[in-house]
Amino acid sequence: MKDIIIETKNLTKIYNGKIKAVSDLNIEIKEGEIYGLAGPNGAGKTTTINMLITRISPTSGTATVGGFDIVKDSLNVRKIMGVVPQDFTADEDLTGRENMMMVSQFYNVPKARAVENCSNLLKMVGLEEAADRYVKTYSGGMRKRLELVIGLVHEPKILFLDEPTLGLDVQTRTQMWDYVKEIQEKLNVTIILTSHYLEEIDELASRVSIIDHGKILITGTPAELKGSLKGDIITLTLSDQKGVEIMKSIPNVIEVSDSGQNTVRIKVANADESLPQVINYISQHELSTIKLTVQKPTLDEVFLEYTGRDIRAEEGGTDARKMAMNLRRVRR
C-alpha cells in the first residue's frame, strides 16, 4: 500500500459563523493517485481545496499535506504543491512563458531548470507556438492549458485541479483529460481533482469521494461505487407480448419488469456475466428479439443513489445555486 500524502481530520469550515461549507471532513489521499472530489456546486469542494492549499484556514479540525500541517506549516505546504484554480490567474499583459518563469521564481527554481521545465511543459500541452504571445490573445482553452502547466513549473509533488474543464467545450474537455493523464504518468504527481462533471471524475480518478452539503457521502474507486449499485440494466425488446411473459420467468436475475411496448427490463448484478445466460434463455425459448441494450450505471446514478438527487438537476436548482453563490461571495 502506498503512503498517505494528504490526510484530514474533522476538517471544518464555517463562514461568518453560520454557513457550514465543510463539516468534519475525513479523507486520506495516497501518493501517486488521482483522487476525485465530486459533488454539485456549493457542496464544499472548493472550500476543501482552499483549506488544503492554505488559502483559507479551517474553523476546526486539522489536515496535513505531504506531512506538513496546513496551518502551522503552511509555507512548506505551498512549496510542495501546485495549484490550478477554477479562475484564471495568469497575467494577461505577460506572455505565457513569462507567466511561467515568474511563478518558477516564486519557488526559487534555478533559472536553467525553469527554462527547461517551461519548454517541456508548454510542449506537452501544445502551447509552444503561443508561448511568447501575450496571454490576452489566448482562447479560453489555451488559458486553461496554460493554468495547468503554470501549476507544474516547480515540479510539485501534489497538484490541485479545481474544476479543470469548467466552461470548456466537449472537445477541449477530452483533450484536457489526456493532458491530466499524461501529467500523472510522466511527472508522477498526486492529483486532487474536483469536478461536478461526474464523467470527468470517472474518466480520470483512481478513487473518488462524493461530497454534498460539506460531508463525504461515500469513497471508493469509480468501479466500486458503480458496482455498489448492483444494477446493470439489460433492456430487451421482443416481437410480441408473449415473449415478454416468457422472459419474466428467467432465473438468476435481480429483477425483471415489463416496461410496455413488448419490452422487458432485466436488472442484473453484472451484465457482462449475465448476458450469455440471457441470450441462451432467449434461444432456448425461440423468441425473436428486435433490440437488446446493456446499460451500466454511471457515477451520475451513484450520486443519485447516495444523495437522492440528480446532479444535473442540481445545476438548475435554485437552492444549490444560491448556496454556491453565497459561498462564492463569502470566500472572497
Q: DSSP secondary structure string, 157-178?
A: SEEEEESTTTT--HHHHHHHHH
Stretch of 11-19, 63-71, 95-103, 222-230 lying at the interface with another protein (CB under 8 A): 95-103
Least distance CB 55 / another protein (angstroms): 6
Beta bridge partners of 28: 7
Residue among 294, 306, 309 nearest 228 (CA): 306
**Smallest gap, in angstroms, from Cβ of residue 110 to another protein?**
14
All three cell numbers of 56: 483559507
User: Which range in 36-44, 100-108, 272-280, 284-292 contacts another protein by CB under 8 A?
Assistant: 100-108
Q: At what angle do helices 111-124 and 96-106 cross, to 10 degrees?
A: 130
**Contacting residue, 107, 177, 179, 306, with another protein by CB under 8 A:** 107
**Contact letters for another protein, residues 108-127 (x by CB under 8 A):** x-------------------
CA distances from 47 to 94, 119, 144, 164 (A): 29, 33, 21, 16
Is there binding between residue 106 and another protein (CB under 8 A)? yes
Q: CA-CA distance, 295 to 36, in Å (whole number)?
A: 23
Q: Going residue by residue from 30 to 69, which x/- string records binding to another protein, judged by CB under 8 A?
A: -----------------------xxx--------------
How far apart, in whole angstroms, are the C-alpha atoms of residue 190 and residue 85?
A: 16
The contact pattern for another protein, residues 146-185, with x = CB under 8 A and - = no contact, is ----x-----------------------------------
Per CB under 8 A, contacts with another protein among 242-301 are none
Cβ burial of 118 (10 Å; 0-12, 13-18, 19+) is buried
- Residues forming contacts to another protein in the complex (CB under 8 A) are 53-55, 75-76, 78-79, 83, 85, 87-94, 98, 101-103, 105-108, 150, 331-332
